[in-house]
Chain A
Amino acid sequence: MMDSRKNPMDDLQRSKGDASSSLGRKEPDSHESDESLLNRVAEKDQKAMTSLFDRYGGLVYSVAMRVLRDSKGAEDLLQDVFFQLWRNPKSFLPSRGSLGAWLLVVTRNRAIDVLRRRRPMDSVDDYPISSGENIASKVEQGAMMQKVRTVLTSLPPEQRNAVELAYFEGLSQTEISERTGDPLGTVKTRIRLALISLRKALQA
C-alpha cells in the first residue's frame, strides 16, 4: 500500500485537491520529513510538533469524527493522540510503517475503544503496517481519498456494510452477524471480498 521510499500521507498532505486540502494547514516546512520532525519533537521542539499536528491533524480529527460522530469527543481524541506523540515520539517506530498510517490506526482503534467504552483488547497497532509499494507509486497526490471512496461505493452494499460495521462502528464479527442476520461465515466472506476489491483497485 505505501512503500518505504515515499509516504502517501505526505503526498496527500502536499496535494492541492479539495479532499486533501482539509488534511491540515500548509506550513512553511512541509517538505521536512516526518522522521526529521519526529527527531526534533524528541528534543521538545514545539514548532516541529505543530508541523506534525498541521500535517496530520485533519486526518486524525476526521477519522475520530467518523467513528465517534461527536465533535467534542473527536477533539479530545485528537489532543490525546498528538499529546502522546509529543510526550513519547518513540512510540512510533518507522519499522511499523508510515507515521500517517500509524496515526490513522491508533486513532481508529482508540476511537473504537471510546465508542465501546472498553479497554483495548489487543494492541493491534503494535503490529507493523505494510506499505504496499504500488499504491504509493501509482496513486497521484490527492487522488487517494477519492479513489478509496470510489472503491467503497462500488462495492456491493452488503460487503461495504460489513466492513464499515467492523471498521467504523467497532462491532465484532458476532455482533455484525447478529445485526445483519447473516451467518458468521457470510460476514467473513463479505469482509474478505471487500478487502480483495479494495486491494485490487488500489493496485490497478
Chain B
Amino acid sequence: MNGGRHISQEDLALYAMQALDGEELNALRAHLPTCALCREQLQEIAGDLTVLGLSVEQHPVPEAARQRFMESIAADSPARTTTPIVIAPEPARKRASGISWVPWAIAAALAIAVAGLGVKMRTLNEALQRQGSAMARATEENVHSQRVLRLLMAPSAQHVTLTTKKPSVEPTGHAIYLAERGELIFQGSNLKSLPEGKIYELWLIPADGRAPIPAGLFRPGKSGDASVVMPPLPAGVPAKAFGITIENAAGASTPTMPIVLSGAPDSQGE
C-alpha cells in the first residue's frame, strides 16, 4: 500500500473506525508501531471522529439503569470508611531582620497570611461540605433502618423461601416482601461462589404476568451467605415468585437462564 511510506489519511480514518481490512490493514499494523508521525495523525483523526458521537440523538439514562448501576457498585464495594478531615496548617512566617525591610516584610507577611487564610477557608469549606454529606448519609441510613425494621415487623409481609428444585441441594434463599410498599429483604445461604465477572441477580416475578423486575445484585461471601436489603422496587406489585440468576458483573435488565434458585410465596402474607 505504502511501500514503506506513511499511511494515508483515509486508511488511518478507516482504521480508527475499525473499518480497514485486507492488505491495507496488514500494512498499517506493520507501519504504525514504527512511525510516530502516523501515530500522531491517527490520534488527531480519532479526535475528529469522537465528535461524531456527539451527533447522535440524546436519550436520558433510564432511572432503573442508574439504580442498577448504583446497586452493582455497592455490591462490589468494601464497607465505606470516613475520610479523615485534615486542616492544613497555616504556613510559618519568617520574622523581618532589618528595619529597612519592615514595610516589605509587613506586605509579605500580609500576603502570606491572606494566602494562608485562603487555603484555610477553602479547606474549611471542603470540610463543611463533607460533614454536610456525612450528615445527609446518616439521615438516609436512619430512614433506611426504620424501613427495614418496619418491613421485618409487618404482619402482612410475605415470607418466601427459595430453594433449588432438587431438595438435596443446599443453597437456599429467604425473601421477605411487602408488595404494597415494594419493600424486600432477601437472605441467601450456602450459595456457591461465582467466578470473576459474574454476580447473582434477584428477580421479582410479578403475579400479573409482567416481565421480571430486577431486585438486586449480590455476591456471597466465603460462607456462602448474602443479602439484599431494600432494593428499589415499585410499590404495589404482587409477587408470583422470586428467582435468582447468574449474570455478568454489571447485572442485566432481563434474566439470563437458568434460574438457579426460585420460590413462590405460600400465602398473601401471614
* Interface contact B49-A167, CB-CB below 8 Å: yes
Contact B53 A46 (CB under 8 A): no
Contact with B along A35-70 (1 / 0, CB 8 A): 000000000101101100110011101110110000
When the two chains form their complex, are residues A79 and B68 in contact, meaning their CB atoms are under 8 A apart? yes
Closest to B41 in A: A130
**Residue of A47, A78, A188, A198 touching B51 (CB-CB under 8 A):** A198
Across the interface, do A66 and B48 meet the contact criterion of CB distance under 8 Å? no
B19 surroundings in chain A (CB, below 8 A): 166, 170-173, 176
Residue of A nearest to B251 (CB): A79
Known A-B contacts A122-B18, A124-B46, A173-B20; the reply to A22 vs B58 at CB < 8 A is yes
- CB contact under 8 A between A82 and B49, given known A12-B54, A75-B62, A174-B22: no
> Residue on B with the closest CB to A82?
B69
- Which one of B9, B13, B57 lies within 8 Å of A62 (CB-CB)? B57
A135 near B11 (CB under 8 angstroms)?
no
Q: Given A122-B15, A173-B21, A188-B14, does the pair A195, B253 have CB atoms closer than 8 Å?
A: no
Q: Mark B48-78, 1 if CB is under 8 A from A, else 0.
A: 1111111111111110011011101110111
Q: Digit string of A59-96 for contact with B (CB within 8 Å is 1, else 0)?
A: 10111011000011011101110110011000000000
Name the residue of chain B whose CB is nearest to the CB of A104: B53
**Smallest CB gap from B56: residue in A:** A66
A183 contacts the other chain (CB 8 A): no
- The chain A residue sitting closest to B52, CB to CB, is A167
A161 nearest CB across to chain B (Å) = 13
Q: Beta-carbon contacts of B174-198 to A below 8 Å, as 1s and 0s?
A: 0000000000000000000000000
A13 to chain B, nearest CB (A): 12
Assess whether A97 is in contact with B47, with CB atoms less than 8 Å apart. yes
A191 touches B14 (CB 8 A): yes
Complex Cα spacing A2 to B44, Å: 10
Are B55's CB and A172's CB within 8 A?
Answer: no
* Residue interface bits A13-49, CB-to-B below 8 A is 1, else 0: 0000001101110000000000000000000101101
Contacts of A188 in B (CB 8 A): 8, 10-11, 14
The tally of residues in A whose CB lies under 8 Å from a CB in B reads 76
Q: Are B51 and A66 in contact (CB under 8 A)?
A: no
Chain A neighbourhood of B22, CB < 8 A? 173-174
Q: For B145, list chain A residues within 8 Å (CB).
A: none
The reply to whether the CB of B39 lies closer than 8 angstroms to some CB of chain A is: yes
Contacts of A44 in B (CB 8 A): 77-78
- Per-residue interface assignment for chain A, residues 139 to 173, with 1 indicating a CB less than 8 Å from any chain B CB and 0 otherwise: 00000110011001000000000010011101111
Q: Give chain B residues whose Cβ lies under 8 Å from the Cβ of A112.
A: 18
Q: Is the CB of A66 within 8 A of B61?
A: no
**Is B45 part of the binding interface, using a Cβ–Cβ cutoff of 8 Å?**
yes
Question: Contact at A195–B13, with CB atoms within 8 Å?
Answer: yes
Is A195 in contact with B45, judged by CB distance below 8 angstroms? yes
Is B165's CB within 8 Å of the partner chain A? no
B13 near A191 with CB under 8 A, answer yes
A129 to B9 alpha-carbon distance, docked (Å)? 15
- Asked if A114 is at the interface of the complex by the 8 Å CB criterion, the answer is no
Other-chain contact of B53, A22, A59, A74 (Cβ < 8 Å) = A59
> Which one, A12, A62, A135, A172, contacts B20 given CB within 8 A?
A172
**Which B residues lie at the A interface, using CB under 8 A?**
8-11, 13-22, 24, 29, 39-40, 42-62, 65-66, 68-70, 72-74, 76-78, 80, 133, 248-254
| 7 CB-based A-B contacts, threshold 8 Å | A57-B66, A72-B254, A76-B248, A78-B65, A127-B46, A166-B17, A173-B22
Known contacts A122-B15, A172-B19, A198-B52; 10 further A-B pairs (Cβ under 8 A): A1-B51, A46-B77, A65-B56, A65-B59, A75-B65, A78-B61, A82-B250, A122-B18, A124-B16, A127-B39
Ranked nearest first, the 9 interchain pairs of A and B with the lowest CB-CB distance are A79-B250, A130-B47, A188-B10, A22-B58, A66-B56, A1-B47, A104-B53, A83-B250, A130-B43
